[in-house]
Structure 1
């Protein structure tokens, strides 16, 4: 029996961080998504242990200020793409307001650290969400393009092909074929 899950990345990450810090007996307070303060001095050996534990969940402790800012930008983008919070606002405005910093500065730091642009990261996030919607829902391409705030299906299709190397229709055919194979095997 196949079961599909829907989950909130922000809530999941926050819960993992809280549980692991509590399990290790740390005193802390969570400031916001991806940020917390220790309320006591933590020895280097304990920090290395915590780093290893978080790494198992794909969570990295960021120490460089520019890397911290890039992670905040990525978090804002993921939140923007995966929620309905920014449907009618330009992404540059949303990110700048969310982080309370000039967008040009944010864009420059992001490019310097990641060697790609904020716009490319947004496209990748939107295409990943489009793929998930194609896999997990019965929405057609028009509905998906509207949900992801694309100007047209053609615009979504072009970005999808540029990002994945295949058209959305080809991707949907592969998914349909996999479903048929899975049904035959069950």
Structure 2
């Protein structure tokens, strides 16, 4: 049985959820961002409530609504793509999501926009800008290396998008004392 969990956006999140489910007596087959596959075929109401209660203590939410589950799958797919893969995207985002989630992009887009009051494309850009902030903070890569890594056509394109989203240029951001970053679940 698969469980879909909101705000499970990092490896530490996966570890916490897996540990807490094991404490409740559940064994997992796999734990991915936003998704846990349990050995158990089904859960009764009391088991569902126990899981909801324990994961809520850590800021997670068990999703039972199909549209919310799909929205979370879109978000975690984008987070994995931007933050955890080092290879640039080889196709456009719509094709990538459609293939990965085995669903027509028009449907994905409509469900996401309805649930998030944001488009998939804007969410993708926001995630990329947060990744740029992270990489700028570390200072280990040049802006052109960051642009290449995140599949921007040019440094100018990255800089323009960065300024539009954050209100400052990448250079201004890097020089400021206030390195204002968002956590992945705040985007």
Q: TM-score scaled by structure 1? A: 0.79
Higher helix share: 1
Structure 1 position 106, deviation (Å): 0.7
Quick one: distance in 2 between partners of 1:69 and 1:95? 11
For the residue of structure 2 that corresponds to 1:61, the secondary structure is strand
The equivalences for 1:100-115 within 5 A come to 100-115=102-117
Q: For structure 1, which runs of at least 5 residues remain unmatched after alignment?
A: 1-8, 179-186
- Map 1:60-79 → 2, pairs under 5 A: 60-79=61-80
- How many residues are matched? 169
8 Å contact from structure 1 (residues 110, 118) kept in 2: yes
What is the CA distance between 1:84 and its match in structure 2?
3.0
Q: Which structure has the larger Rg over C-alpha atoms?
A: 1
More strand by share: 2
Shift of 1:40: 6.6
CA–CA distance in structure 2, aligned partners of residues 92 and 18 of structure 1 = 31
**1:14 and 2:29 correspond:** no
RMSD: 2.3
Contact 2:14 2:31 in 1 (8 A): no
Gaps of 5+ in 2: 1-8, 180-187
Q: Which has the higher contact order (CA 8 A, sep 6+)?
A: 2
1:129 aligns to what? Answer: 131
